[in-house]
């Protein structure tokens, strides 16, 4: 079971990663509604892959876990 602190840290880090990725994509692609669609698609793909990797990394970190 995770502690509340671990869950909060994970959520904050995940949001920071998402903000950084979307900022980089927005910097690289600007302009029309079509570009906005591309940005959303890229963000979705990157977000999905990043989330899976992120959770796998956290599954190996013992900090904040309670052994029941």
Q: Which phi and psi angles does 31 have, rounded to 5°?
A: 125, -110
pLDDT at position 50 is 85
Residues 6+ apart with CB under 8 A from 51: 14
Q: Which phi and psi angles does 61 have, rounded to 5°?
A: -90, 125
Structure tokens at 14: 């995940």
- pLDDT greater than 70 at residue 1: no
| Nearest-angstrom CA–CA distance, 35 and 26 | 9
Residues 6+ apart with CB under 8 A from 65: 1, 2, 3, 6
pLDDT at position 33 is 61
pLDDT in tens, 11-50: 788 888 887 888 888 888 777 767 776 777 787 788 778 8
């Amino acid at each position: 079971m995770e502690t509340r602190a671990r869950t909060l840290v994970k959520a904050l880090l995940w949001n920071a990663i998402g903000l950084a990725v979307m900022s980089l994509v927005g910097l690289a692609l600007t302009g029309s509604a079509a570009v906005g669609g591309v940005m959303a698609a890229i963000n979705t793909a990157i977000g999905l892959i990043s989330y899976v990797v992120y959770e796998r990394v956290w599954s190996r970190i013992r900090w904040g876990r309670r052994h029941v």
